[in-house]
Chains A and B, each alone.
Chain A
Amino acid sequence: MGKVTRLTHEGHTYAVSVDIQDGQVTLKVDKDGVSLPPTDARVQTLDPWLLIQLDGRSYRCLAARDKEGVWVSVEGRSSYLKFKSAAGREDHAPVTSATDVRAPMTGTVIKIVVEPGAVVAKGNLVAAMEAMKMEYRLEAQMEGKVARVLCKPGDMVDVGALLVELAPLSSA
């Protein structure tokens, strides 16, 4: 087995190795620790594509790496796979908890409708954001009490930024 690349995607971990010899490749995958049957394929380049031939069909693929992972496009479908770091530190898989109200995209906070201490029901409007001139409602994912408000109207925030933190009512 060749060098193993560890990737994560939609909550699954893939340990992938590709043995390549004269354009003939064998793919071995461990998905979440379970070995899948190996796959044989043929690989060629047809600039700008990487052509991967599987079961008599040819797939046009393109991949580009950044620091944290690799974007792959196969026949018009693209997705991002994150490298799982060697130190065992998990990738930035969203440890989303229902107590968190996070920014769903990079944009500007336009309003916060709750204050610390306020009680919200599941589905209540908590804040609103704007990106690319469209407005988005951010709702509470659970019933609870507002523990902290970490932004104010006008703030530019990154995707995933924690905007408002809720606490379960029982602990309040």
Chain B
Amino acid sequence: MLVANRGEIAVRIMRTLRALHLTSVAVYSDADVAAPHVLAADRALRIGPAPARESYLKIDAVLAAARESGAEAVHPGYGFLAENPAFAQACEDAGLVFLGPTARAMSALGDKARARSQASALGVPTIPGHDAGTDPADVARAARSLQLPLLLKAAAGGGGKGMRKIDQWSDLEEAIEAAQRESLSAFGDARLVVESCLHPVRHVEVQVLGDGKGLAVALGERECSLQRRHQKIIEETPSVAVSPALREAMCDAACRAAASVDYRGLGTVEFLVDTEGHFYFLELNARLQVEHPVTEWVTGLDLVALQIAVGEGQPIPAEARDVVMRGASIEARLYAENPLAGFLPTSGRALEVIWPHHPGVRIDSGIARGQDVGVYYDPLLAKIIAWGDTREMARTRLVSALRDTAVVGLTTNQAFLIDLLESEIFKSGQTFTHTVDEWVGPWKAQRPPLYEDPAFLIAAVLSGTATGESRNAQSAVSPDGTGDPYNPWRRQDAWRV
């Protein structure tokens, strides 16, 4: 199987392939010659230079790699070509099993504009708005028929790319231009949808799995309200805002939407939920979602393995049809970005990368020590996902895991994640899509000054000494002075853990 992606998701997919004893093939650009996903695969083939448009987004190059490697199936991951119907079609034409929905289902539901009308036809509530097309004048006219604030979205895709919030009419023309350029760059399509901006709302989505023959099952919901720049940073299941009755209604609506197009494979039906418990259909994402691990934690299922089974034409297995949810799970996304500077992406070299090995904690990482984080791709470095019997246990496990994580050499959002998870807002479940934007200002102001943290300065100074060379420090003299001759950390030979 060829994995047409990079980073953490490619590594995660290859883990399942290995568990299923399937041979994995990676593709890589010149920027990723020794990236973790290349090392995780059985084989790896170069598909082009660093820019995504010349490599990971290039259908011909990916198909040529599939042919050369003799792959029988293609997993697109998320982003890049994952929701491109032309790619799905090209795979089918080349006789490759495409691990995703059919090109037809994708065109019908992956497209925001068509999905809106499809959902209305099924009686699923949608947000007031219009499919506005490509002409900037038409988009502006459609926008002005709604009340401010409103949202511009790329009709062709999700993930927040091409999305712009309009608070004042004077920003409209510039925002249309920017949204179209971003949409064109990410999806090769400039069509926009305009929608009213509901407030306050939560973002809650339902995981579905379809067999391609009209049967679709729901695997519970995920709440992903905590976002910045329209991109999620913390996700959890179950949602504190979803009652059993609401869950049933949302899961039912999600299954109807998926079944109506004979949906095959994994999909996510996204909704907004207001404070009165009304829900509105947003879109169907025809892919494995970034936040899928929280669903895996509470269901015990391997969603990638299910995708493969359904892709091979097998019926939906019993354990997915009668899914039993247990406990709660929360995911935090570690990004190369600076929360102190508008969450702008950062770049640099990962000088040290340390992950925790805690019970109930899973790490999906696409970064390794010594790797350069560049400007070409998504700044997601890794996901840290915790499970607990209760939401509170999952939360404290996640915080403790983040405290025992170190990615040094570039600025990340790690401290921001810890503080957000420790905030009263998160503890009490008062999470809405605007929460992060409002919270980040006070958070910046309340950070303690550096000199109040002596550990910081001690570690900085000792980093130049034998004591401070903590990593690979087995040969350093133990500073505790106890002289334990059996302490494995004091051995001078090449013994490794």
- A residues engaging B (CB < 8 A)? 5, 7, 9-10, 12, 14, 16-18, 20, 22-23, 25, 27, 29, 31, 36, 39, 41, 43-50, 52, 54, 59-66, 70-81, 104-108, 110, 125, 128, 130-137, 156, 159
Contacts and interface: CB of A to CB of B under 8 A. Distances in A.
A72 B341 CA distance: 19
Nearest to A130: B185
B161 A134 contact: yes
Interface string B451-475: 1011111111111110110111110
A134 B407 CA distance: 23
Given A62-B354, A78-B415, 10 more contacts: A9-B450, A10-B450, A27-B457, A62-B471, A76-B414, A77-B415, A81-B460, A106-B375, A108-B375, A136-B344
A77 B346 CA distance: 16
Contacts of A71: 351-352, 408-409
A63 B408 contact: yes
A110 B467 CA distance: 47
B477 to A, nearest CB: 10
Contact of A41 (B346, B351, B455, B472): B455
Contact of B351 (A23, A66, A156): A66
Interface of B: 52, 161, 174, 178, 181-182, 185-186, 229, 341-342, 344-347, 349, 351-352, 354, 374-379, 402-409, 411-412, 414-415, 418, 449-451, 453-465, 467-468, 470-474, 476, 478-481, 489, 497
A151 B310 CA distance: 51
A81 to B, nearest CB: 5
Contacts of A54: 454-455
A135 B375 contact: no
B174 A47 contact: no
Contacts of A79: 450, 456
A80 B389 CA distance: 37
A110 B345 contact: no
Contacts of B402: 76
Contacts of A130: 185
Given A10-B450, A50-B468, A132-B375, A62 B481 contact: no
A85 to B, nearest CB: 15
B347 A106 contact: yes
Nearest to A53: B455
Given A50-B470, A135-B182, A43 B408 contact: no
Contacts of B453: 74
A45, A50, A110, A128: residue with the most chain B Cβ atoms closer than 10 Å: A45
Contacts of B405: 76
B178 A135 contact: yes
Nearest to A17: B461
Nearest to A66: B351
Nearest to B490: A45
Contacts of B341: 104
Contact of B411 (A76, A80, A137): A80
B457 A131 contact: no
A42 B460 CA distance: 15
Contact of B470 (A62, A81, A133): A62
Contacts of A137: 178
A78 B346 contact: no
Contact of B403 (A9, A36, A76): A76
A52 B351 contact: no
Nearest to B379: A132
Contact of A43 (B161, B346, B379, B479): B479
22 contacts: A12-B451, A16-B461, A23-B479, A25-B462, A27-B457, A27-B458, A29-B454, A39-B454, A44-B478, A50-B470, A61-B458, A63-B468, A64-B352, A70-B460, A72-B408, A72-B463, A78-B414, A104-B344, A108-B375, A128-B178, A130-B185, A134-B182
A131 B343 CA distance: 12
B164 to A, nearest CB: 9
B137 to A, nearest CB: 20
Nearest to A133: B186
A132 B231 CA distance: 13
B479 A44 contact: yes
B88 to A, nearest CB: 21
Contact of B375 (A25, A46, A105): A105
A107 B374 CA distance: 9
Given A27-B454, A47-B471, A133-B378, A76 B185 contact: no
Contact of B404 (A29, A44, A60, A128): A60
A7 B186 CA distance: 42
Contact of A20 (B354, B454, B467, B476): B467
Contacts of B464: 5, 65, 70
A72 B456 contact: yes
B450 A66 contact: no
Contact of A16 (B181, B457, B467, B497): B457
Nearest to A28: B457
8 closest cross-chain pairs (CB), A and B: A63-B463, A23-B479, A64-B351, A61-B459, A71-B408, A77-B415, A73-B406, A76-B403
Contact of B473 (A20, A47, A110): A47
B461 A45 contact: no
A62 B408 contact: yes
Nearest to A80: B411
A44 to B, nearest CB: 5
Given A14-B457, A133-B52, A105 B412 contact: no
